[in-house]
Structure 1
Amino acid sequence: MTAAPGPSAPIGNPAVTRSATASRRRWSLRARLLAWSVTLVAVVCTVVGVVTTVALQSYLYKQLDGSVRGVAGRATHLPPDVGHSGPGPDLSAPTPAQVLGFVTGGGQAPGTLGAILDLKGQVIDGQFSAATQSRDLTGIPFNGAQRAALSGLALDGTPRTVDIPGLGDYRIMRVVSEDGVPLVVGQPAKDVQNTVRKLIVITICVTAGGLVAAGLAGAVTTRYALRPLRRVAATATRVSELRLDRGEVALHDRVPVSDTDPRTEVGQVGAALNRLLGHVGSALEARHASETQVRQFVADASHELRTPLASIRGYAELTRRGGEPIGPDTRHALGRIESEAKRMTTLVEDLLLLARLDAGRPLSYEALDLSPLVVDAVSDARAAGPGHRWRLDLPDDPVLVRADPARLHQVLANLLANARTHTPPDTTVTARVSRHPRGALLEVLDNGPGIPATLLPYVFERFARGEVSRSRTAGSTGLGLAIAHAVVTAHGGRITAESVPGRTVFRVLLPGTADTAAADTAPAESVSAGARPDSQAGDRLTTRS
């Protein structure tokens, strides 16, 4: 039964594969080009080095084999006087010393060896030459290990490499002398191997130097070659930093003409980017013109609708209060006409305000303390929603901001009205003011059912509608939070919303004045709903925790 691979086995591990792929993708184009160029140089140098080494080794071994065959020729042909005891044909068998005389004979290099074999291929006698101090050659007999290494060689007349203990590698060849004596002759391969090793070392050093030079040259070359691409990227970066979602956008950035040559790859990218920027610029101009037209239409329509709506409400109220008797159905219809006219008037006013804010109409800025403004807004909210519990959380010291009082009061009124409208009775709504390192922080909190997670990202969009838990039950137009967002943005601030069941928080961050930035954060007090700085005796104060 085969065991399953453990956690340490990385074979087929998709996480390892994804990690390696992500690591490769994090390399820049310059790094990849440099790596590929250096790798190519390394491969070329390696191939050249291997081919050169193999060719030189083959050539040197051929020369050595020729030298071995020369030794074999001298070994098989004994001198004429070897074996003659005198004049006449009577010859005696040569002695081993005479047969191996070629080892130390003239013209031989030190290290030449020779051995006499028996009919079974075992070495009977053998020696190798060594140079003396007088540079003469002397024969040194084989030891037992060297005899064993030379025994049992095939008689094929082909040189082969044999490792002889104590002597190293030899090119050995087995031959038969004229007298039928099996012989082994050979010469050392030390010089050939030393030459090949030196060539390998030289090749490695040259390759390393070439790789360093290729890396430096490649770095400089790629840096110079990629400058146009960096200029194209810089243009794209500048465009990406522009605010393109609203307002009039002046999209004048273009890739320089020198980087739009269609004959080069970078030039093709630059030209394509310029065409894209041209199309985007045209689309943004068309979008801005359309938005301007829509805003102007909304502003004009809202302005024109205010008068007839006021007239409808006035005539309905006049008719209902007139002296002529009217039936209950007519009275109810007139009340509904007044109610819907009032609601439509509120919608028109909101649309007109949004149109003016979108058009960038300037605000009336002044130094404003948030605490009295919040107290007034909560007092109004308490009067409009007596079924809720209203609380204040205010600091002791003033929190100053530079804002338009009327517009900021409208932001607070809309946030409190949103809490009142979309939460059930007995919900606690808290308005909190505090200092922030970047200005002043205004928060409106409630412990109601919360905003649905699907609606929360779009809560500040115009005509955003909630689900049943925060549905429109009191004539909401869906523009209150959109107006709050527009007013806060016009003040240079930021408004955010966070909501979970049981806790909904709207945070308004406004830029403060110099006095606010210099003031220290002091302990604050929480005032119950409806309390003003000169509150009645029935209001209570609680220290903020």
Structure 2
Amino acid sequence: MVLLAFVAMSVATVLALRSFTLDRLDQQVREGLSFAVGRDAFDGHGGEGPGGGEPPPGMDAGTPAPRIGTLMAVIGDDGTVRSSGYTRADGTVVSLTADQIALLRSSVPTDRAPTTVDFGGELGAFRVAAAEDDGALIVAGNSEADVTATTTALTIILLAVSAVTLLIAVIGLSFFVRRSLRPLDRVADVAQRVSTLSLSAGDVEIPDRVATADTDRATEVGRVGSSLNDLLGHVQSSLAARHHSEEQLRRFIADASHELRTPLASIRGYAQLSLGEAGPMTPTQARSFDRIESEAQRMASLVDDLLLLARLDAGQSLRREEVELTLLAVDAVSDAQAADATHEWRLDVSDDLISVTGDDNRLRQVVANLLRNASTHTPAGTTVTLSLAREGNDAILRVSDTGPGIDPAVVGRLFERFARGDDSRNRDAGSTGLGLSIAQAITEAHGGTISVDSAPGRTVFEVRLPAERA
């Protein structure tokens, strides 16, 4: 904006000065023409005739020398040049050539209005006016060299001054703006550090706050800093309340699950005891005791799953030992084949043994949950493949099936607790909806990730774990 202002100012100044100097020059041209018309054309205007050296006839030697840069010519009505000449910078007067006379006759009107004629070469541009007097054409003019020199010099001066002023303005404004924005930079630094914090889970502490010097509500930046501090305080309070609620819920689930294990075991024991006796029992009683035992077993499994999730959420440490994933995969497929012969089970592993560091029992639970998930939610005859491979520093375990796939609306929440995918997959047996969330919790506790990719006819669960070096 400063540069544009300088350009506009400079252009306006140069144009105004050129217009003013041209007006002055035109005034001088008209005065010179009036003077020439009122007296003999070369009275006071020395000239060098074609023969050179002597002034033309009629020249009064006592008159003052003509002004440098002036031009004068007298042309008869028959086209003959009575006298002509222009004054050089050294004061000598040189006659005009025939071409220059012809240019004057064709270009200059006789209404005394000044016009520009460019002779080129040594003469350059002239402001020239002409008038008729006693059958003769009298022409007077002044060179535009002074006007051009003045405007050129002013242009150079304005460019130099504008450049220096612009440089000073840029440096000054940069310093001023940077200094003014330093508090905002500090506020932005606080916001940037807070944005890198993990606020999704756990006991979250936000220690960063905007300094007191940058929270003056009398300034715009101060209001931003103060508002950011208030926002961070509200966020930390909300996160603390959320963590407290989660801790209470986690303790409740863990305590309740632990306390429920004993009465559930008692219920199962009494049901088995009643069924094991040889005493008379009606079919309804027998069926009732059988269902009591079955549901008690299902509740015990659910309680165990909830207790495991609560312990994993609380950060329970897992065993850290070498686990052979290849042997684990072989055992898992064998167990699945024995438990469900209605599906086709396949194993795809490399010849090399792949090992990870972790808890063998928990990793077996991950694989078992994925295979059981495929068995439960796909129809009989579905092919389920467990594959194991190494990719870089990771061990990749995939469970794929050829079932109907998972509803895209369910995929995003598939690993949530008590999530069900029954809308798109067949359901032949009961499911707690905790198997995949347990698999995810155990995988993440081992520093790995679990994901799913599903389409009709192909569903793949992928578990990626840090592998030990071969």
1:52 matched residue in structure 2? 13
Query: Is contact 1:103–1:112 with CA below 8 Å preserved after alignment?
Result: no
**Is 223-232 or 376-385 further displaced after alignment?**
223-232
Matched, 1:109 2:70: no
Could you tell me which residue of structure 1 aligns to residue 149 of structure 2? 194
CA offsets 1:259-278 (integer angstroms, 9 cap, x no match): 22323332222222111111
Q: Is the 8 A contact 1:65 1:171 kept in 2?
A: yes
Matches within 5 A, 1:53-132: 53-78=14-39, 106-116=64-74, 127-131=84-88
Q: Does structure 1 residue 476 correspond to structure 2 residue 434?
A: no
**More off after superposition, 428-437 vs 283-292:** 428-437
Deviation of residue 415 (structure 1)?
Answer: 0.8
- Correspondence 1:258-277 to 2 at 5 A: 258-277=213-232
* Runs of at least 5 residues in structure 1 that lack an aligned partner in the other structure: 1-39, 83-96, 520-545
Structure 1 position 402, deviation (Å): 1.3
Q: Does 1:428 align with 2:389?
A: no
Matched letter for residue 146 of structure 1? L
Report SS of the residue matched to 2:198. Answer: coil
Given candidates 437, 445, 448, the residue that maps to 2:400 is 445
Looking at structure 1, the residues matched to 187 and 60 of structure 2 have their Cα atoms a distance apart, in angstroms, of 81
Residue pair 2:257, 2:304 contacting (<8 A) in 1 also: yes
Indicate conservation of the 8 Å contact 1:104/1:138, yes or no. Answer: no
Q: Distance in 1 between matches of 2:383 and 2:176?
A: 69
Return 452-461 or 393-402, whichever deviates more.
Answer: 393-402
2:350 matched to 1:395? yes
For residue 540 of structure 1, what is the aligned residue in structure 2?
A: none
Moved more, 440-449 or 105-114: 105-114
**Residue equivalent to 1:137:** 93
Residue 341 (structure 1) aligns with: 296
How many residue pairs are counted as aligned between the two chains? 457
Q: Which amino acid aligns with 1:46?
A: V
Deviation of the 1:98 alpha carbon: 6.3
> How far 1:180 moved relative to its partner?
8.7
Q: Which amino acid aligns with 2:32?
A: V
For residues 68 and 473 of structure 1, what CA distance do their matches in structure 2 show? 113
Q: Secondary structure at the match of 2:408?
A: coil
Shift of 1:428: 2.0
Structure 2 gaps, min length 5: 44-55
| Per-residue Cα deviation, 1:370-425 (whole angstroms, up to 9, x for no partner) | 22222222222111111112222233333221111121111111111111111122
Q: Secondary structure at the match of 2:197?
A: coil
The whole-number CA distance in structure 2 between the counterparts of 1:104 and 1:470 is 124
CA separation of 1:104/1:50 partners in 2, compared to 1, >3 Å: closer, same or farther? farther
Superposed displacement of residue 66, structure 1? 4.0
> Deviation string for 1:85-104 (max 9, x for gaps)?
xxxxxxxxxxxx668x5999
**CA–CA distance in 2 between the matches of 1:123 and 1:381?**
126
Cα 1:436–1:132, aligned 2, differ >3 Å: closer, same or farther?
closer
1:190 deviation in Å? 1.9
Identity %: 46
Equivalent AA in structure 2 for residue 109 of structure 1: R
Contact 2:320–2:358, Cα closer than 8 Å, also in 1: yes
Measured in 2, the distance between the counterparts of 1:404 and 1:294 equals 26
Alpha-carbon shift at residue 492 of structure 1 (Å): 1.5
SS in 1 for 2:148: helix
CA contact (8 A) 2:66 2:87 kept: no
CA contact (8 A) 1:149 1:163 kept: no
State the Cα distance separating 1:237 from its structure 2 match: 1.8
**Residue type matched to 2:301 in 1?**
T
Aligned partners of 1:435 and 1:441 also within 8 Å: yes
CA distance 1:225–1:125, shift in 2 (3 Å): farther
Structure-2 residue corresponding to 1:42: 3
Q: Distance in 1 between matches of 2:61 and 2:29?
A: 12
* CA displacement at 1:488 relative to structure 2: 0.9
CA contact (8 A) 2:376 2:429 kept: yes
Give 3-state SS (helix, strand or coil) of 1:455's partner: helix
* Change beyond 3 A, Cα 1:422–1:112: same
Structure 2 distance, partners of 1:123, 1:229, is: 84
CA distance, structure 2, for counterparts of residue 76 and residue 204 of structure 1 = 43
Matched, 1:172 2:133: no
The 1:370/1:141 distance shift into structure 2, 3 A limit, reads closer
The reply to whether residue 149 of structure 1 matches residue 134 of structure 2 is: no
1:383 paired residue among 321, 338, 343: 338
Compute the displacement of 1:49 (Å): 0.9
Greater mean deviation of Cα atoms: 488-497 or 208-217: 208-217
Q: Which amino acid aligns with 2:125?
A: D
CA contact (8 A) 1:465 1:472 kept: no
In the other structure, the counterpart of 1:6 is none
Is the Cα contact below 8 Å between 2:356 and 2:465 reproduced in 1?
yes
Is the Cα contact below 8 Å between 1:161 and 1:172 reproduced in 2?
A: yes
Q: TM-score, normalised by structure 1?
A: 0.76
CA distance in 1, matches of 2:104, 2:348: 107
Following superposition, the deviation at residue 119 of structure 1 comes to 8.5
CA contact 1:172–1:187 (8 Å) conserved in 2:
yes
Do the aligned partners of 1:74 and 1:102 also contact (CA within 8 Å) in 2? no
Q: Distance in 2 between matches of 1:387 and 1:271?
A: 66
Displacement of 1:479 after TM fit?
0.4
Cα shift at 1:333: 2.4
8 Å CA contact retained: 1:130, 1:139? no
1:337-363 Cα offsets, whole Å, 9 max, x none, are 222222222112111111111111111
Render the CA deviation track for 1:15-43: whole Å, top value 9, x for unaligned. xxxxxxxxxxxxxxxxxxxxxxxxx2212
SS of the residue corresponding to residue 236 of structure 1 reads helix
Are 2:195 and 1:240 aligned? yes
1:490 Cα deviation (Å)?
Answer: 1.2
User: How far did 1:304 drift?
Assistant: 2.0
Q: Counterpart of 1:367 in 2: which secondary structure? A: strand
Provide, for residues 69-112 of structure 1, a one-character-per-residue CA deviation record: whole Å limited to 9, x for no partner: 44234313327x98xxxxxxxxxxxxxx668x599963422342
For residue 234 of structure 1, give the secondary structure of its aligned residue in structure 2: helix
Separation in 1, partners of 2:183, 2:294: 67
Tell me: CA distance 1:330–1:164, structure 2 relative to 1, closer, same or farther (3 Å). Answer: same
Secondary structure of 1:458 counterpart: coil
Q: Distance in 1 between matches of 2:235 and 2:61?
A: 93
| Greater Cα shift, 201-210 or 265-274 | 201-210
Distance in 2 between the 1:174 and 1:295 partners? 109
Name the structure 2 match of 1:85. none
